[in-house]
Amino acid sequence: MALSRRIAYIDLSTGKIETKPIPIEMRRKFLGGRGLDAYLLYNHCEKGIDPFSPENPLIVSAGLLVGTLASATSRTHVMAKSPLTGMLGSCNMGGFFAPELRWAGFDHLVIKGKADKPVYIWIHNGEIEIRDAKNLWGKSVTEAQWAVREELGDPDVKCLVCGPAGEKLVRFANVMTGIKNAGGRTGMGAVMGSKNLKLIAVRGTMDIKIAYPKEALEFNKRFIEQITTAKVNQTMGILGTPFIWGATNSWGGVRVNNFQYNQLLYADDVEPERFHEIANETFGKYHMAGCFACQVHCRARYRIPDGPYKGCYDEGPEYTTQGAFASEVGCTSALTVLTGNYLCNQYGVDWLELGSLIAWAMELYEKGILTIRDTGGIDLRFGNDEAVIEMIKHVCERDTWLGDVLAEGGLKAAEIIGRDSIKYLIHVKGMQNLHSDERPTPALALNIATASRGSDHLRSRPAIDLYHLPEPVLRKIYSNPVPYDGPLSSDFRSYEGKAWQVFWQEQCFMAVDSLGICKYHTTFLGATLPNFEDWTKVIYYNTGLEFTPQELWTIAERCNNMERLFNIREGLTPDDPFKGDILVDRYFTEPTKRGAPDVIGTCIDREKFLKMREEFYRYHGWDEKTGAPTEETLIRLGIDNEPSHLL
Amino acid sequence: MHANPKALVINYEKCTGCRLCELVCSVHHHGVSNPAKSRIKVEKWEWEGLYIPMSCKQCIDAPCMNVCPVKAISRDEILSRVVVDHNLCIGCRSCVAVCPFGAMGFDPVEKKVFKCDLCDGDPKCVYFCDEKAVDYVEVSREALLRKREAAEKIAQAHRRAVELMSEI
């Protein structure tokens, strides 16, 4: 059954492999996926180690409900200490790897050590083997996967792979599966590369017993209807995530020319409808694809329509690709977005980080901090499409001075470049912000400032805050499953009640990441989508485990606190400009220049922001000044004796 | 005999590759999530984005039925399907080898062959497939629809040709 999946400890230095069952008490405390990963990371990662050292554990997992009837139960989670930030490294991806891992008998893999030559791990129906990857090393993300399938003689093998960027230790390299399902942010692919681990191949035909099959089937049908009838998901099913970029850009919520503007003008060629058209023309009318068991199907299939990669098959692009290779770098060409998308997928690199870094370098070039000599002859001005494509290759190959420097990530690059370069870097905790501009939206600003893996939109973003929902609707959502009677505001510019909304979303996302469900199936972009109470039902029907919504909430709190403990141990203090829960100065000092009437001319009020952050700490049970969990909080959550080494 | 029998019709173009059909099939028939026990399987050519769901065609002149040495396989004309009688089946798996569509499965644990039984007239794969990449429809009606679809392509080509001619 779903709860019988094991944990495997794999030491690549010694070749030793050990497997254990996961005790039910650990499930009740941490569920699985990201939640249990957080426990494992805190327990298996020594304080202060070099993220590229063999001691850094790479933890790969499937969520508690992966492979079961709970809608889009496809998510793989990967954790380690991040080589980009030196703090929590964590990524979550869809596709088909996680369910296959479960059918092969495992839920969590803790991979330590470093192989003396390139290897891959082969997991098949309860068996684990470390194999030579001489023939896979150097191969692109897709080539490596097809090659290993051929070697193993099974087209249904699923892979988790690091691309050439991971091999070259680009500090924001992804782990990938399939064509484009990417575990982006924080450089988990580089950790794989540092271990000489090219790939994890899995194939399984073992049963996952469903506790109440008939009820699970019936409930799932209703659950899917709840998810697919939401307008936001219907739109996503046609236009994919690019529709979000279109909506955000129209009111002035995207970063342009690094951080100089907040709306991309003359953007017709990079609007979602344009990508829809290209997919129609190059793949056909039915071009949307889905992850495992998902009926939203937000991923477009297409071929590159022109240019040097004409005819190459790829999937996407996403909301963040439009940001990375259009708005942030000031480009307005669909071809640049699609080419960038393709290159990043093949190299296995986080386009979000990369686009943001190229945009930063462009501003440095504009300001004269970088010259044409530093760029190796590339005219790195905003809007130069060829320069963007060239820089993607140079960073992933590390074959020019600037490419090599940017591959080290923003903070290290700023140290090498020197002068005032750090002033223009848009980051939190050393991780670049995505293309969104949070100056008009205090809630979103607090979200990126406090997210556990650095500037990020997928840890605690109350996206529905942008919809001007009536207060009673907000109250209904945000006072469940625990009561909340504080202020709530329908105005996205307000600071009232936003701390609670961010806290609630953080709890919500931790729960789904631990269950292995996609965030588009939760209260994220749609107000009618499932959350805690619905999950208690799917957990029960599929696994037989009984939880109350409040219990799930407490589990999410516990898991969030484990991540917090890890970051505190690695040196987080609230106002530290490199490791803190704080935004760069530009958020507070440069008002927005474009956008809708209620957006233009706004920036974040530092005093109100800090007050909001204190309030946010308070909800967490953290000290208002140090941001650390209080003794009382740790005792309440039963994690006052960590590391406890139970797994 | 059913006057106008229904059949499972697969339109691979509509398939999004999510494999929910495999999941619900194995849960419905075995109470477990395990695509290896599903009657339907989405074959993929991922590097081209091609997803082709494969299932039993319920052949009229079924090779599995013809090859069965103990006559355990027969046609159920009410639901227009091919069924296996496990009381007669000796597990020789000749049917697995002979099926041109790979639609006959074998469960190595229970040591039994299995195939699509159309969920007794309410196929779960169809029930769950929003895209209707898998559909359960009257065969004669499906043929008419397909005719229209194919003709539409010719009609479009004709319109385009006329447009081009008028531009010259």
What would the pLDDT profile of A473-491 be if each residue is shown by its tens digit?
999 999 999 999 999 999 9
What is the residue-averaged pLDDT of chain A?
A: 97
Our CA-based measurement puts residue B136 at a distance from the nearest CA of chain A, in whole angstroms, of 18
Rounded Cα–Cα distance for residues A637 and A558 (Å): 6
Q: Which residues of chain A from 145 to 184 reach within 8 Å of chain B, CB to CB? A: 146, 155, 178-179
Q: Stretch A341-370: mean pLDDT, rounded?
A: 98
* Burial (Cβ within 10 Å: 0-12, 13-18, ≥19) of residue A260: middle
Tell me what pLDDT residue A388 has: 98
The nearest CA of chain A is from the CA of B123 a distance in Å of: 13
pLDDT category at B149 given cuts 50, 70, 90 is confident
CA-CA distance, A277 to B105, in Å (whole number)?
Answer: 41
ipTM: 0.95
pLDDT at B34: 97
Those residues whose C-beta lies under 8 Å from the C-beta of residue B115, and which sit 6 or more positions away, are B39, B56, B64, B82, B84, B103, B104, B105
pTM score, whole prediction? 0.95
CA A594 – CA A603 distance, rounded (Å): 12
Q: Is the pLDDT of residue B4 over 80?
A: no
B167: exposed, middle or buried (Cβ count in 10 Å: 0-12, 13-18, 19+): exposed
Q: Which residue of A has its CA nearest to B35?
A: A205
Mean pLDDT to the nearest integer, A454-464: 95
Q: What is the distance in angstroms between the Cα of A290 and the nearest Cα belonging to chain B?
A: 5
Of the candidates A210, A221, A289, the beta carbon closest to that of B33 is on A210
pLDDT above 90: percentage of residues in chain A: 99
Do A322 and A338 form a contact (C-beta atoms < 8 A)? no
For an interface test with A, the pick among B13, B15, B18, B110 (most A C-beta atoms closer than 10 Å) comes out as: B18
How far CA B119 is from CA of A356, A478, B122, in Å, comes to 52, 42, 5
Looking at CA atoms only, how far is residue A344 from chain B in angstroms?
16
E strands within A309-422? 313-315
CA dist A601 and A614 (Å) reads 26
Average pLDDT over residues B109-134: 95
Tokens 């070259």 belong to which residue? A168
The pLDDT of residue A82 is above 70: yes
User: Would you tell me which residues 9-28 of chain B have a C-beta closer than 8 angstroms to some C-beta of chain A?
Assistant: 13-20, 23-24, 27-28
Compare CB distances from A313 to B13, B35, B48 and report the shortest one's residue.
Answer: B48
Q: With an 8 Å Cβ cutoff, is B29 touching chain A?
A: no
Task: Give me the numbers of helices (H) and strands (E) for chain A, helices first please.
Answer: 24, 18
Tell me how far apart the alpha carbons of residues A48 and A188 are, in angstroms, rounded to a whole number.
17
Q: Is the dihedral of CA A397, A400, A403, A405 positive or negative?
A: positive
Question: A289 to chain B: which residues are within 8 Å by CB?
Answer: 16-18, 49, 51
Query: Is B24's CB within 8 Å of A217's CB?
Result: yes
Preferred mutation among B10, B12, B16, B37 to probe A, highest tally of A CBs within 10 A: B16
Residue A3 has a pLDDT of 82
Nearest to A69 among B16, B23, B30 (CB): B23
Structural contact between residues A98 and A66, judged by C-beta atoms closer than 8 angstroms: yes
Residue of chain B with shortest Cα separation from A1: B32
Does the CB of B153 have a partner CB in chain A at under 8 Å? no
Using the Cβ of B130 and the Cβ atoms of chain A, whether some distance falls under 8 Å is answered with yes
Mean pLDDT (whole number) for A4-29: 97
Nearest residue to A421 (alpha-carbon basis) of A478, A358, A346, A364: A364
Whether A408 shows a pLDDT value over 60: the answer reads yes
- HSE, CB side, 13 Å, CA atoms: give it for residue A181: 26
Q: CB of A290 within 8 Å of any CB in chain B?
A: yes
- pLDDT > 70? residue B2: no
Rounded Cα gap, residues A481 and A510, in angstroms: 15
- One DSSP character per residue, chain B reads --SS-EEEEE-GGG--S--HHHHHHHHHHHSEE-GGG-S-EEEEEGGGTEEEEE-----TT-HHHHH-TT--EEEETTTTEEEE-TTT-----HHHHH-TT---EEETTTTEEE---GGGG--HHHHH-TT-SEEEEEHHHHHHHHHHHHHHHHHHHHHHHHHHHHH-
Chain B residues in contact with A124 by the CB 8 A cut-off are none
Question: For residue B16, which of A158, A156, A296 has the smallest C-alpha distance?
Answer: A296
Q: Which of A301, A304, A517, A541 to mutate to test the interface with B (most CBs of B within 10 A)?
A: A301
Compute and round to an integer the Cα radius of gyration of chain B.
Answer: 19
pLDDT of residue A1: 59
- Over residues A537-579, the pLDDT tens digits come to 999 999 999 999 999 999 999 999 999 999 999 999 999 999 9
Query: In this prediction, what percent of chain B has a pLDDT beyond 90?
Result: 79
Mean pLDDT within B6-14? 93
